[in-house]
Amino acid sequence: MYKINDNYLKLPGSYLFSNIAKKVAAYKEANPNRDVISLGIGDVTLPLAPAVIEALHSAVDEMAQAETFHGYAPDLGYEFLRRAIIDNDYKKRGVDISLDEVFISDGAKSDSGNIVDIFAQNNTIAVTDPVYPVYVDSNAMSGKTGEYLVDKGCWSNVIYMPCVAENDFVPEIPEKTPDIIYICCPNNPTGTTLNREQLQKWVDYANQNKAVIIYDAAYEAYISEKDVPHSIFECDGAKTCAIEMRSFSKNAGFTGTRLGFTVISKELKSGDVSLNSLWARRHGTKFNGAPYIIQKAGEAVYSDAGKKQTEEQIAYYMKNAGMIRESLTDMGYTVFGGVNAPYIWLQTPEGMKSWDFFDMLLERANVVGTPGSGFGPSGEGYFRLTAFGSAENTKKALERIQSL
Ligand code: MLT
């Protein structure tokens, strides 16, 4: 008789954003005339940049001719894209990454979920709390998190590093030593960052304790402050302790197009075993590459026109972020983030529970956000709004919140 992976049965409820989507769908069904504005899931709203569209069209035409048709992509991704990444994302910042250290994928969410494959069961993970739920859920699915403690809203074998207003959302070195440390910077959901010195401290700690840092830099394009590193590899010693994940979703609007990459230096080793070769083995066996046309679209993001156009998109979203920050502050809310990230993290009024605030906003303002407690126990009492809406809807949503 077959057996299921019963780690799945330990997972509480459904994935955060599926849960929210269901609640919103039920509300819309019951209230079909209400115009609901979503500032919930961090999904982009601007169309793909013209340079990207042009590259897509031309790649589609290539697929129509036998001479230029492309079948399976190379295991690690096309060299034209890996080279563009190395030159633009790393070399320009003084970081030396080689071609076989970049792995193209269908997005950072897949990579951050799949990376658990190359680590043993008995690793202890440490996560910032609140945290992007994929890191914890994917470890839970593979049996690395112990038992779910319903009353505490957390897992018995996960080290939670609270990031709250009181510590400026900077995780402190935990008492118990973790094996795997997840850091997302700029942070989803709090929209806050670590500066160079703070990140260097984590790199040094990981090297001293033979831990690995899984560094999610999906929002790096939103960094506006000079002292915030765009890559963990800007820190000394990061190549021997860090894996970096990047996405085209937020910097170039590929949420529906799917493209990302992971960088693992060949210097990252567990004893004699290179994690780069483990990931290459996994990638080769379980993944057949992001589509050629999408990788061509990704290459176009790095063209002069692509860079200019995607920078304009980011500026558009960050203008929304500024508007949200300013309006909410004027209304008396305490807000964080929104300076180096497209997320605004606010304290709920009068200590309201995050889900109660979610319900109130949905029902009375017809605005959807994300309850902080959905990201972990320390997110209770907080709420996330995204700057990825249209400027018009963002303004409308703020007017509605103001009139509550
Ligand atoms: C979010 O809203 O946190 C993100 O959009 C989810 C994701 O990137 O998978």
Nearest CA to ligand 1 atom 4: 42
Ligand 1 atom at shortest distance from the alpha carbon of 386: 2
With cut-offs at 50, 70 and 90, classify the pLDDT of residue 16. confident
Ligand 1 atom at shortest distance from the alpha carbon of 109: 9
Q: Model-level pTM?
A: 0.97
From 188, 244, 214, select the one nearest 41 (Cα to Cα). 188
| Residue 116: DSSP 8-state | G
Cβ of 384 closer than 6 Å to ligand 1, yes or no, is no
Is residue 14's pLDDT more than 90? no
At 97-156, the pLDDT tens digits run: 999 999 999 999 999 999 999 999 999 999 999 999 999 999 999 999 999 999 999 999
Q: What is the mean pLDDT of the chain?
A: 97
Cβ of 154 closer than 6 Å to ligand 1, yes or no, is no
Sign (positive/negative) of CA torsion 227, 228, 234, 235?
positive
Alpha-carbon distances, residue 373 vs 42, 129, 191, 326, 349 (angstroms): 17, 10, 15, 24, 15
From 231, 221, 261, 217, select the one nearest 342 (Cα to Cα). 221
pLDDT > 70 in the chain, percent: 100
At 234-276, the pLDDT tens digits run: 999 999 999 999 999 999 999 999 999 999 999 999 999 999 9
Mean pLDDT of 183-199: 98
Cβ of 109 closer than 6 Å to ligand 1, yes or no, is yes
How many angstroms separate the alpha carbon of residue 302 from the centre of ligand 1?
23
Cβ of 82 closer than 6 Å to ligand 1, yes or no, is no
At 308-325, the pLDDT tens digits run: 999 999 999 999 999 999
Strands 382-386, 370-371: pairing is antiparallel
Cβ of 247 closer than 6 Å to ligand 1, yes or no, is no
Nearest CA to ligand 1 atom 1: 42
Ligand 1 atom at shortest distance from the alpha carbon of 188: 3
Ligand 1 atom at shortest distance from the alpha carbon of 40: 2
Report how far residue 344's alpha carbon sits from residue 359's, in angstroms, rounded to the nearest whole number: 18
Cβ of 104 closer than 6 Å to ligand 1, yes or no, is no
Are the C-beta atoms of 84 and 302 separated by less than 8 Å?
yes
Report how far residue 191's alpha carbon sits from residue 218's, in angstroms, rounded to the nearest whole number: 12
Cβ of 42 closer than 6 Å to ligand 1, yes or no, is yes
Is residue 15's pLDDT more than 90? no
87 Rama class: left (phi>0) / alpha (psi -120 to 50) / beta: alpha
156: burial class by Cβ within 10 Å (0-12, 13-18, 19+)?
A: exposed
How many angstroms separate the alpha carbon of residue 47 from the centre of ligand 1?
18
From 162, 151, 159, select the one nearest 125 (Cα to Cα). 159
How many angstroms separate the alpha carbon of residue 132 from the centre of ligand 1?
8
Cβ of 255 closer than 6 Å to ligand 1, yes or no, is no
Q: Give the model's pLDDT for residue 13.
A: 81
How many angstroms separate the alpha carbon of residue 41 from the centre of ligand 1?
6
Q: Which of 24, 39, 43, 257 to mutate to test the pocket of ligand 1 (most atoms within 8 A of CB)?
A: 43
With cut-offs at 50, 70 and 90, classify the pLDDT of residue 173. very high
How many angstroms separate the alpha carbon of residue 189 from the centre of ligand 1?
9
Report how far residue 283's alpha carbon sits from residue 280's, in angstroms, rounded to the nearest whole number: 5
| Residue 219: DSSP 8-state | T
Ligand 1 atom at shortest distance from the alpha carbon of 189: 3
Cβ of 188 closer than 6 Å to ligand 1, yes or no, is yes
How many angstroms separate the alpha carbon of residue 158 from the centre of ligand 1?
21
